[in-house]
Structure 1
Amino acid sequence: MSATLSVVIAARNCADRLEATVQPWRPIAHEIIVADQMSFDQTPDLAQKLGCRLIRNDPPGGNFDLNRKLAMEQATSEWILYIDTDERPTAELLSEIRRFLALTPGPASPDGVRIPNMFYFLGRP
């Protein structure tokens, strides 16, 4: 049996990009949690429409990490992946995560995984 994955998305006023963030994870995520920092656009409504679990919080000082921690505490999967709304996985990454989930849990399962990323600025790496 494969391990399960909760994807936690930190969000604030990102309705224009939320669907593009959520869709690639649907096939492999057990649950997708949107940790919303009191958006005043359509982000909360869209998150629910997309079938995500919505957690809304207004942390002191606008601290996104507190929202992520709250979402982590409510996640129900063996593995949790934090992403931002401007991050998109490659097909290769999704395939690798699928393989990883199929191999865990087990006695030799790791405690964590590092995923390399590439930053782009003005459309260039």
Structure 2
Amino acid sequence: MTRLPIVVAIPTKNEAANITGAVRSVIDHFAAVVVVDSDSTDDTRALAKAEGAEVVPYTWDGRYPKKKQWCLENVHPETDWMLFLDGDETPSGELIAELRRIFHDGRPVRPAAFDIPLGYWFAGRRLRHGYTIVKRALLDRTRARFPEPDDLAAPGMGEQEGHYQPLAEPVHRLRAPIEHRDLDPVRTWFDRHNRYSDWEAWLERHPEVREQIRTAKTRQGQIFHRAPFKPLLSFGYSYVYRRGFLDGRAGFDYALAMSFYRWQIGVKAREAAAAERPTD
């Protein structure tokens, strides 16, 4: 079977629970599969190598470029196209078939990037409704780059680019999903989002940087970025408007978890604002 002319980059740190499935899902279909690992202390590197992936070490120097842009600049630069997967993600069979139709039809690929929906799993269940996540995960590195907002002093994200999209034009949205299924305990989701909320709360106190990031979000993300009452809006949008209730308890739990995440951001931002006020 002819391999797709795409390099798969999987940025990792301590993904031993997930990495075997991620590598197996792509190793036979793409030109190269590279795990870019940040000093994992578990068996991530050994497990990835056992499945045939290349493993490249990565240590962040505290400046830009951050990890994904570094991958664009350094990992198999001879191949223009790169697909980013998290260590707990696998492309669906339908997505691989869709990519074959695009990249093997003999015509130049016009888009500079592709947005791909996520098939999201939460607490062990595949969510069919509710809030839809879309990632700009497939990039032509000659026509796409990650922005460099002035957020290096912010807590929460560290070596990885924040919650914004790489910049590219034009962009096309694919139909088939990447399956995002984290096999770690659900507490790790809360651990991650606690850190992410530190970054988001810092942005609330730095509106000039917040505006830089707003322009690098999807249209839906830009609208929500400016919306008031985000915790209530998030729950209502996911659970009611997008019918998350049809996913049963998992749909309720996920809508509530995302609402709690938005609430955390607000609480942390208000706390920081209070600490900055002068006292008599």
> One fold, TM greater than 0.5?
yes
1:118 equivalent to 2:119? Answer: yes
Equivalence for 1:83? 85
Structure 1 spans left out of the alignment, 5+ residues: none
TM-score by length of 2: 0.39
Is the Cα–Cα contact under 8 Å of residues 5 and 103 in structure 2 kept in the other structure?
yes
The amino acid of 1:83's aligned partner reads L
Q: In the TM superposition, what are the counterparts of 1:12-27 in structure 2 within 5 Å?
A: 12-27=13-28
User: Which 4+ runs in 1 deviate beyond 4 A?
Assistant: none
Q: Which has the higher helix share?
A: 2
Report if aligned partners of 1:3, 1:78 keep a CA contact under 8 Å in 2: no
Percent identity at matched positions? 25
1:67 paired residue number:
67
Task: Using structure 1 for the length normalisation, give the TM-score.
Answer: 0.81
RMSD: 2.5
Report the CA distance between 1:67 and its aligned residue: 2.4
Q: Does the 8 A contact of 1:8 with 1:81 survive in 2? A: yes
CA distance in 2 between counterparts of 1:118 and 1:55 reads: 28
Counterpart of 2:58 in structure 1 is 57
Give 1 or 2 for the bigger CA radius of gyration.
2
1:94 is matched with: 96
Aligned residues: 122
Larger RCO: 1 or 2 (CA < 8 Å, sep 6+): 1
The answer for unaligned runs of 5 or more in structure 2 is: 128-280
Cα distance in 1 between the residues matched to 2:114 and 2:5: 14
Tell me if the contact between 1:33 and 1:52 (Cα under 8 Å) persists in the aligned partners: yes
State the distance in 2 between where 1:66 and 1:6 align: 18
Measured after TM superposition, the shift of residue 101 of structure 1 is: 1.5
Q: In the alignment, is the contact (CA less than 8 A) between 1:3 and 1:104 conserved in 2?
A: no
Deviates more, 1:46-55 or 1:84-93: 46-55
